[in-house]
Amino acid sequence: MTPSGQEIASLDLGNSTCRMGLYGNGKIKQERFVSTKTFLSNPKSLTGQYPALPPTIAYCSVSPPAEAALQDWASESGSELFNLNALTCGDFPITYPHPDEIGQDRIANSLAVYKTCELPALVIDIGTATTFDVVGAKEGYAGGVIAPGPQGFLDFLHQNTALLPKVTIEDKRPICPIGTNTIDAMLLGAHLGFAPMVGGILSHLEKEMLRTHGKEPKVILAGGASHHLDMPRCENRPFLTLEGVALAFAQNNVIV
């Protein structure tokens, strides 16, 4: 049994980025991140940024190669691992008919919201994919929507056309809404198209949740790319996934 009050090492292995932080007193601190490509070649590029870690690292993963790299590192270093999934989420209810299909990051987000927020709630997590997850007081995780992340718009164009270049969403956004070169035109398509896509999906989900729950949901914005979306009425919790992983570990190890 892990002693009460001990900090929890929480790790989120994503398709593009791997993030880690220490959870204590209800919040994540010392958050660090590296690209998943970097983590694959050297997990210590992330874990080694901490002078000391708890004996067990709690994690969720949507990247099997990154998870394999973590397991190899843990075996060599003597660290223990706790994996959050549909079978290890404790008393968090899942009414979704196919729990084995839910991304572990989506379980982490929904569990964190279930434990800490007014319900019903809707989590929008913006990363490589943009996920919308519905969380209710009785249903727990009920389902949601999956759409491309902002970088996905650009990657699709580059990968499926002969002449359009590789462009990153982090490149400077053009000020004028009329692109005067190919890269600016692509960036405008991603930036100007992403927010309306999210807004349209959100509108449909809010209407359905108003019908089924009797009130509109609290909307939580999470994910490493959430800064690409300006939604003032949402609560922004960039470390939500790490929080959920830590809360699941705490529950399984009776930390209060």
Q: Give the separation between CA 191 and CA 38, rounded to whole angstroms.
A: 27
Q: Residues with Cβ < 8 Å from 29, sequence gap 6 or more?
A: 21, 22, 23
DSSP reduced 3-state for 139: coil
Structure tokens that stand for 7 in this block: 């900090």
For every residue of 59-83, DSSP letters joined together read: EEES-HHHHHHHHHHHHHHT-EEEE
DSSP state of 95: -
Q: For tokens 């005067």, what's the residue?
A: 180
Cβ pair 83, 59 in contact under 8 A: yes
125 is catalytic: no
Sheet holding 121-126, edge to edge: 140-148, 129-136, 121-126, 218-222, 235-236
Q: Give the separation between CA 39 and CA 185, rounded to whole angstroms.
A: 33
Beta strands in 127-165 (DSSP E): 129-136, 140-148
Sheet holding 8-13, edge to edge: 27-35, 17-24, 8-13, 56-61, 80-83
Q: Select which of 12, 72, 100, 105 is catalytic.
A: 105
Residues marked active site are found at: 105
